[in-house]
Amino acid sequence: MKRFLSLDVFRGMTILMMIVLNNQAGGSVFAPLVHSSWDGVTFADMIFPFFLFIMGAAMWFSTHRHDYGIRGTLSKSRRTGRIFRRTLILFAVGLILNWIPFDDYFAFVRIPGVLQRIALAYFFAAMLTLYLPRVRAIVLSIAVSLAGYWFLLDALGTDIVGRVDTALLGPSHLLTPSFDPEGILSTIPAIASVLIGYLAGNAMDKPNSASGGIGTLMVVGVLLAGAGILFGLVSPMNKQLWTPSYVLFTSGAAMVVWSVLSFVIEYMQARKWCEFFTIAGTNSLFIYSLSMVLAKMFALWGVTQAVYDFYRSYHVPDAVASLMWSLTMALVCWLITWPLYRMRVFISA
């Protein structure tokens, strides 16, 4: 089974960028690093769906490694058990990260979150690919989920997303009393983001070809991104609602990025620069969780403000000082993760 270093690099780039985006300080931030307030897509809005896409692509290779590896075929029951286990771990870690520093009752802890969405999207995508393994069935699942979600938003109004979260989770468990961007209903199209990544992994899995499916992925990615832009004229791209046009556009963009990385790394064999990102990409759960814990602790201890003020003391603009702090956080997390990589220790769910 062919392993794509480019996918590890892509994951590393994405997770480090997530850390940068989550650790902006001060009152001024560069516009591309700020999420869109509602409709529209900024650079920051593309990072999370990129990660879901990468997870889906990795699912293809991990699934088929188990199917055809030297250990023999795993039964569906064992694979289902592994899916449940990984889902519960990811969701539990996400809840704990939301609860840290444990200075409030659980009744007021936010239940949704990034890892929670990853857990649920992974669970449903993994179960679909396990029990509906044919490509046509996966394509149909994507179409049904996106079309069904679009119909719900169109027929019942976009506020249905918040109403479902409030009814099922309660206002005290949401990011705001009436809405959460990682809520329940908007997880449906996020599952499609994972499944599209899964199909991209299928397209790239050509072990007997020097260039793999790079050309195919590039063309499909451009077409998919274009479809997202056109569909956005009817249903605007919106990260907080995770609209179908947003799924199509970001998935297409992810295909283009992966195809470029694959051309450079797999086809051209230009790999000397890859290790920095591979270190983060092969321990993505650890480095992300570490960044969330450090961010809360540093803010509580005054470290964030102190370092930000230090950068500002050199009379750089607020946005530059904010970016410097976020890059510092990413580097600190990378340095802590580096020894694990050297010891070949990979922490995963």
Task: Give 10-residue mean pLDDT values along the chain (349 residues).
Answer: 83 97 89 93 97 96 62 74 95 96 92 97 96 92 96 94 96 95 96 98 76 88 97 96 98 98 93 95 96 95 94 93 96 96 87
**Does the residue 330 lie in any domain?**
no
* C-alpha span between 279 and 162 (Å, rounded): 38
Burial 65-96, CB ≥16 within 10 A → b, else e? ebeeeeeeeeeeeebeeebeebbeebbebbbe
| Contact in structure between 53 and 196 (CB atoms under 8 Å) | yes
Per-residue model confidence (pLDDT) at position 72: 46
Q: What is the pTM of this model?
A: 0.94
Per-residue model confidence (pLDDT) at position 63: 82
* C-alpha span between 254 and 98 (Å, rounded): 28
* C-alpha pair distances (Å), 74 with each of 70, 117, 243: 11, 27, 36
Contacts of 251 (CB under 8 A, 6+ apart): 49, 53, 192, 193, 196, 197, 221, 224, 225, 228
**Does the residue 301 lie in any domain?**
no
Per-residue model confidence (pLDDT) at position 231: 96
Per-residue model confidence (pLDDT) at position 65: 63
Q: How many domains does the chain have?
A: 1
Per the structure block, which two tokens stand in for 1? 């089974």
* C-alpha span between 38 and 90 (Å, rounded): 28
**Does the residue 114 lie in any domain?**
yes
Per-residue model confidence (pLDDT) at position 64: 74
**Does the residue 134 lie in any domain?**
yes
Torsion of CA 20, 47, 199, 193, to 10 degrees: 130
**Does the residue 110 lie in any domain?**
yes
**Does the residue 173 lie in any domain?**
yes
| Contact in structure between 217 and 204 (CB atoms under 8 Å) | yes
Per-residue model confidence (pLDDT) at position 1: 46
Give me the domain span that covers residue 90: 45-281
Number of CB atoms found within 10 A of residue 148's CB: 13
DSSP secondary structure letter of residue 263: I
**Does the residue 311 lie in any domain?**
no
**Does the residue 18 lie in any domain?**
no
For tokens 């879901």, the residue is 52
* C-alpha span between 118 and 193 (Å, rounded): 11
